[in-house]
Structure 1
């Protein structure tokens, strides 16, 4: 019995190590790290290879921290900086940290200086909102993206670093019931919205 347990533990350790290595290297030879693969409103999306790959930190000339190059957070913050000239008061944190569960729906998230909406929310998601995904067993950091299109039945997101074979654009279903809009994905925590915008 001990031998079987030892074999299982060694097997799990090997799987874990392989997974950690694959998440750091580029296994998709069709793209190179730093390649422009998409853009939205003139803001570029770069290819990152393995989701844990890092390529230094993007900092503006005046010292504002955009984030680690080619990660999802870097794109979202760069988008808000370039498109809106918006700087977040707290310029650090992982993707999941963009959402504060203690903030009521429609209140200001002071760390980001943006209006936070939960999922579900009375507010329909809007183009240019930041969408925040919670962590999961394979990704302890969470994920963020920009909403690039909205209809009555779905939203389109544009994202950086979704994985070496994943697309930069993705559709998520939405619906409205009893006055609340729900983004039908269990990992979606909610959205962040620049108060002065009105795109719909």
Structure 2
């Protein structure tokens, strides 16, 4: 049996994979015709600015607070969420690093404390409804291996409205997700939504009273 057809198929597959990879790099590192410059303010939530990032994989250096706390890579989704919690609540996550997907720990029980983030974690389908200013966590997808996070801006009986940074060069900073309730459990109807995080009750009370930020050590 001749090996030439096998080699031809293999070569064709390699060419196809190379073309797909090149296309992925172009799409995720370009603004797709947008005239906005990276770092341009495009929205805000409770006074915390959402910046334009351009291509979803573009980066513009690490954003640190004056005392060195890591807020994330400008202008990725994580940077907005951590900056929001720092500016609004003085919250410092004990683990100051990690991709978006790492913000949700699937090993935790619903309503347990996520010690890496210093936040209470609820699974999608929880008996605890999502609320405004919760962090919503999305799982990775085929074209996004890192996951995605955003801040919930509004909740009503039928939908959750999220505020997000780096949704994509031509997508909105706001998105509505369908919310349903059945037998006392709340589910956001998006298969990628893992759940939501919020400040523990005591931390919320302290933040409202103007307490000092939580302490936390950073590591790569």
TM-score band w.r.t. shorter chain = over 0.9
Q: Distance in 2 between matches of 1:11 and 1:102?
A: 38
Task: Name the structure 1 match of 2:35.
Answer: 30
Matched, 1:144 2:149: yes
Higher mean alpha-carbon deviation, 2-11 vs 133-142, is at 2-11
Task: Name the structure 1 match of 2:184.
Answer: 179
Q: CA deviation at 1:4?
A: 4.0
Structure showing greater radius of gyration is 2
Q: What RMSD, in angstroms, separates the aligned Cα atoms of the two structures? A: 1.3
* 1:105-144 correspondence runs (5 A): 105-144=110-149
2:73 is matched with which residue: 35, 48, 68?
68
Matched, 1:40 2:45: yes
Any stretches of 5+ residues in structure 2 without a counterpart? 206-220
SS state of the match for residue 34, structure 1? coil
Matched, 1:90 2:91: no
Q: Distance in 2 between matches of 1:10 and 1:108?
A: 47
SS state of the match for residue 53, structure 1? coil
TM-score when scaled to structure 2?
0.87
SS state of the match for residue 98, structure 2? coil
SS state of the match for residue 20, structure 2? helix
Q: Distance in 2 between matches of 1:29 and 1:39?
A: 20
Residues 65-99 of structure 1 deviation map (CA, whole Å, 9 limit, x = unaligned): 00001000000000000011111000000000000
Q: Is the 8 Å Cα contact of residues 59 and 74 (structure 2) preserved in structure 1?
A: yes
4+ runs deviating over 4 angstroms:
none
Any stretches of 5+ residues in structure 1 without a counterpart? none
SS state of the match for residue 85, structure 2? helix
